[in-house]
Structure 1
Amino acid sequence: MTNFMQKIFTKEDPSVYKGKDAHLDRTLHVKDFISLGVGTIVSTSIFTLPGVVAADHTGPAVALSFIFAAIVAALVSFAYAEMSSSMPYAGSAYSWINVLFGEVFGWIAGWALLAEYFIAVAFVASGFSANLRGLISPLGIKLPKSLANTFGTDGGVIDITAAIVIILTGLLLAKGTTSTARIENILVVLKVLAVLLFIVVGLTVININNYVPFIPEHRMTKAGSFGGWQGIYAGVSMIFLAYIGFDSIAANSAEAVNPQKTMPRGILGSLAIAVILFVAVALVLVGMFKYSDYAGNAEPVGWALRQSGFGVVAAIVQAISVIGMFTALIGMMMAGSRLLYSFGRDGLLPSWLGGLNKNNLPNRSLVILTIIAVIIGSMFPFSFLAQLISAGTLVAFMFVSIAMFALRPRQGKDLPVPQFKMPLYPVLPIISFICVAVVFWGLSGEAKLYTLIWFIFGLLIYFIYGVRHSKKHKA
């Protein structure tokens, strides 16, 4: 038993990861990481969440929920920036926690992120499918229900559009990070321009009366708390999902040029841009129409533009937003494939996943990720799993926040001293951990239950397969 406990709590030597990841080509610059981050964070949620949260929880104060959620995300991003510049390894939190706390804790953190990547890819692909079908339906193009809906949903067998877009994204990533980054950069610029177009046009029809009262009186509704600070808090737990994409940047740090500078700038820069865009869209949206008008509206931005007489602008914004969903798919699939590669690299999942092709790309893990995402996104209704995206990631964020206390004592010894450091240490890591825990507590009981089931399943895999095949234990 003593030998077993030593195995699972043994910390990985950072030089091992440095050597294993040396075969990955460092081709990504600051602009690529900012593009990757903005493309992942500013996804479908910016066109849907502001209206939904305003109608269900906050009223006009939805911008406050976005700001508070952004503050929590920023606290965690400081830790991510220091971690990724000090330990630029593939797998982000999984590899970091493995080095700082031991293998079993690293597995738990990585398994939490894996839920995010699998489900987020499927979720965005499903959103792409729904929006694309909505755009082409006025042209008389309509897929049969069997090919338009997921298995068992309204006569559906497979969402063929979701399956195709996941496969196309996988094929693009298989060509390499350099070519992918070029396409990502172009799509992100288009998406940001679409958001700015909505903001500029929306400002011309703002009705100041729609902001009064800015924080409605608190009451309970079918959706939960509405109004007051209770409603704003409920909104934070929903909105935090929108910001979690910055962690996908860190997963690719082993492919960063000069990670000491590139990683902090990419993580913090992309989050700053995303926060500004989210808050601006939220303020404009609730100013255009009364917040209650967005109740049950899956496309509040397009609806608000059409109701204001800007049908052409609505079509342009929605068309670009659909194309821009590729950016989120690229970011999540890159991060997910690198995490699977890391599991295979260490033997916790089949070593085949840790192999690189002749161009030093982890395409084997990319293939597996693509297949699983296609199954989830095109064949299974996964609304009940969607909450795992934020719940699992919040668990990983708590690990990273508290890991700062294990990182600092080792800097300058077996780990380098990074050029960027989390400010106000040791106070800020504690505040970060508490804030993330508070956001996690605000999730539904259903989300917490599904998270528990996911972790039990992950621990079974680790103890049945991972411990026995870990390359660390065979060394």
Structure 2
Amino acid sequence: MKELFKRLSLKEDPSVYEDKDSHLKRTLGVKEFLALGVGTIVSASIFTLPGVVAAKYAGPAVTISFLLAALVAGLVAFAYAEMSAAMPFAGSAYSWINVIFGEFWGWIAGWALLAEYFIAVAFVASGLSSNLQGLLSPMGFSLPKQLQAALGTNGGLFDFFACGVILLIAILLSRGVKEAARVQNILVVLKVLAILIFIAVGITAINSKNYTPFIPATKINSDGTIFGGWIGIYEGVSTIFLSYVGFDSIAANSAEAKNPQKTMPRGIMGSLLIAVILFVGVGLVLVGMFPYSAYANNAEPVGWALRHAGHPVIAVIVQSIAVVGMFTALIGMMLAGSRLVYSFGRDGMLPKWLGQLNKDKLPNHALVFLTLVCVVLGALLPFSFLAQMVSAGTLIAFMFVTLGIYKLRKREGKDINDPSFKMPLYPVLPALAFIASLIVFLGLDTAAKLTAGGWFILALIIYFSYGISHSALAKSKNNK
């Protein structure tokens, strides 16, 4: 047993990752990372989740859910900023935990993140599809019912638009990071503009009665979930949390950052701050325009609210920009996910083919694999289920990273770079970040936890049947 634990805790030398990732071009600066972060965090969720969570869990207090989720994300973001500045490697938490705790623990953290990227891409594509259909429907265009939604949702077989947009983004990313970043920068500006237009117009339609009571009385929904009170707010936090997980996509691309000591902390913390302001603004306006119950099972509440408030033209403008702007989240998630899959292949945890770069030094093999899985998930899994599953995998990885700060501090300035940014209030803040992440995880619904459990059983099967015997780390140690 002692030998097995020693094998599982075999640690990678950080200089090895620096060498392996040296082939990736460092082309991204603070501006690109802010665009990547805001584009990924402020995604389909800002145009979809405020209404859904208000109707199902929190009522007008959905804004409190957003603020509490932001607080947890902010604590974890401090840890991510220090980690990515000290170890700017592809794969983010997977590579960091490999260096700090060992190969097996890195694999578990990375596998958790892989669930995030697979499902987050499908989630955003599903939200984009709902908004696009809401935009086209008043114009008399609609797909056959079987192609409008995921399998088992309102008579759907698979989501045609969700699949199509994933393939389009994959084609763009296959051409290179710099080109994708240019598109990202433009689309992020448009998306923020759409949000500000909605807030400005929506304020004129606010009825203060819709905020009363701000925290509704507690009751049990027909599906067994709890609505209202502080329990409803807590349930809302667990669903909403996925809105803020996009800063991991910044860290996943740190191997392509110019001057990561400065660009990584500024990109992570800056994009999260911008996102919090926008989320709270949209939530407050949305629940003020109409009673929260009006948004039940509505995947495009922003467009719906504008249309029913007598602003159909503004609704078309905002939803058009929103649909285009959702491309930014897909760019960020698919970019980060492909780098994670590349890292698995690079280290022998998955087939070596996934860790190979093409003639342009791009991990397009990993991108193809990611795209195929996301197309299947986006076509077949319903929107509401995807929302909670994104949070499950991410929160597990977050807990690893926050605990990793304690190990990291002992090695900074030795075999790991001493970063210019460090998590404040050490050693208290890392513990608070871990506890807060655990509390949010415990608030996820049972289906999400069970599915996460099944995902980790699969991780164990893959590691012990393939990864442990093909590990590049183990082979390098044995050859010494």
Using structure 2 for the length normalisation, give the TM-score.
0.95
Instruction: Decide whether aligned partners of structure 1 residues 291 and 36 sit closer, same or farther in structure 2, where only a CA change above 3 A counts.
Output: same
Instruction: Decide whether aligned partners of structure 1 residues 421 and 354 sit closer, same or farther in structure 2, where only a CA change above 3 A counts.
Output: same
Q: Does 1:324 align with 2:341?
A: no
Q: How does 1:5-404 map to 2 (within 5 A)?
A: 5-151=5-151, 156-222=156-222, 224-379=225-380, 384=385, 386-404=387-405
8 Å contact 1:385–1:450 — kept in the other structure? Answer: no
Measured in 1, the distance between the counterparts of 2:84 and 2:245 equals 16
Cα displacement string for residues 38-65 of structure 1 (whole angstroms, at most 9, x for unaligned residues) = 1111111111211122222222221111
Q: Which amino acid aligns with 1:212?
A: T
Q: Which amino acid aligns with 1:60?
A: P
Cα displacement string for residues 289-313 of structure 1 (whole angstroms, at most 9, x for unaligned residues) = 2223323332221122112211111
Measured in 1, the distance between the counterparts of 2:230 and 2:383 equals 31
Q: Which amino acid aligns with 2:187?
A: L
Measured in 2, the distance between the counterparts of 1:220 and 1:138 equals 35
Measured in 2, the distance between the counterparts of 1:109 and 1:25 equals 25
- Alpha-carbon deviation of 1:443? 0.8
8 Å contact 2:45–2:124 — kept in the other structure? Answer: no
Instruction: Decide whether aligned partners of structure 1 residues 124 and 108 sit closer, same or farther in structure 2, where only a CA change above 3 A counts.
Output: same
1:459 paired residue number:
460
- Alpha-carbon deviation of 1:129? 2.4
- Alpha-carbon deviation of 1:360? 1.3
Measured in 2, the distance between the counterparts of 1:230 and 1:191 equals 32
- Alpha-carbon deviation of 1:362? 0.9
Measured in 2, the distance between the counterparts of 1:19 and 1:326 equals 32
Q: Which amino acid aligns with 1:305?
A: L
Measured in 1, the distance between the counterparts of 2:130 and 2:218 equals 34
Measured in 2, the distance between the counterparts of 1:216 and 1:297 equals 20
Q: Which amino acid aligns with 1:407?
A: L
What SS does structure 2 have at the residue aligned with 1:460? Answer: helix
What SS does structure 1 have at the residue aligned with 2:220? Answer: strand
Measured in 2, the distance between the counterparts of 1:173 and 1:203 equals 38
Instruction: Decide whether aligned partners of structure 1 residues 183 and 408 sit closer, same or farther in structure 2, where only a CA change above 3 A counts.
Output: same
Measured in 2, the distance between the counterparts of 1:292 and 1:151 equals 26
Q: Which amino acid aligns with 1:175?
A: R
8 Å contact 2:63–2:284 — kept in the other structure? Answer: yes
Instruction: Decide whether aligned partners of structure 1 residues 296 and 133 sit closer, same or farther in structure 2, where only a CA change above 3 A counts.
Output: closer
Q: Which amino acid aligns with 1:187?
A: L
Percent identical pairs in the alignment equals: 66
Cα displacement string for residues 256-297 of structure 1 (whole angstroms, at most 9, x for unaligned residues) = 000000000000010000000000111111222222332333
Give the stretch that moved more between structures: 296-305 or 256-265: 296-305
8 Å contact 2:238–2:388 — kept in the other structure? Answer: no
8 Å contact 1:391–1:440 — kept in the other structure? Answer: yes
What SS does structure 1 have at the residue aligned with 2:246? Answer: helix
2:471 paired residue number:
470
8 Å contact 1:51–1:291 — kept in the other structure? Answer: yes
- Alpha-carbon deviation of 1:183? 0.3
Measured in 2, the distance between the counterparts of 1:285 and 1:71 equals 21
1:434 paired residue number:
435
Instruction: Decide whether aligned partners of structure 1 residues 382 and 239 sit closer, same or farther in structure 2, where only a CA change above 3 A counts.
Output: closer
Using structure 1 for the length normalisation, give the TM-score.
0.96
2:412 paired residue number:
411
- Alpha-carbon deviation of 1:220? 2.9
Instruction: Decide whether aligned partners of structure 1 residues 138 and 59 sit closer, same or farther in structure 2, where only a CA change above 3 A counts.
Output: closer
Measured in 2, the distance between the counterparts of 1:147 and 1:212 equals 40
8 Å contact 2:131–2:300 — kept in the other structure? Answer: no
Q: How does 1:438-453 map to 2 (within 5 A)?
A: 438-453=439-454
Q: Which amino acid aligns with 1:126?
A: S
Where does the alignment leave 5 or more consecutive residues of structure 2 unmatched? Answer: none
8 Å contact 1:73–1:244 — kept in the other structure? Answer: yes
Measured in 1, the distance between the counterparts of 2:445 and 2:192 equals 32
Cα displacement string for residues 140-168 of structure 1 (whole angstroms, at most 9, x for unaligned residues) = 33333444444566665543322221111
Instruction: Decide whether aligned partners of structure 1 residues 176 and 159 sit closer, same or farther in structure 2, where only a CA change above 3 A counts.
Output: same
Give the stretch that moved more between structures: 376-385 or 37-46: 376-385
- Alpha-carbon deviation of 1:217? 2.8
RMSD of Structure 2 on Structure 1 (CA): 1.7
Give the stretch that moved more between structures: 93-102 or 117-126: 117-126
- Alpha-carbon deviation of 1:327? 0.7
Cα displacement string for residues 177-217 of structure 1 (whole angstroms, at most 9, x for unaligned residues) = 11100101111110100000000111122222222222223
Measured in 2, the distance between the counterparts of 1:384 and 1:52 equals 12
Give the stretch that moved more between structures: 39-48 or 407-416: 39-48
Instruction: Decide whether aligned partners of structure 1 residues 183 and 67 sit closer, same or farther in structure 2, where only a CA change above 3 A counts.
Output: same
Measured in 2, the distance between the counterparts of 1:384 and 1:23 equals 38
- Alpha-carbon deviation of 1:4? 4.0
Cα displacement string for residues 294-347 of structure 1 (whole angstroms, at most 9, x for unaligned residues) = 233322211221122111111111111111111111011001100000001101
Measured in 2, the distance between the counterparts of 1:164 and 1:226 equals 36
Give the stretch that moved more between structures: 388-397 or 374-383: 374-383
Where does the alignment leave 5 or more consecutive residues of structure 1 unmatched? Answer: none
What SS does structure 2 have at the residue aligned with 1:216? Answer: coil
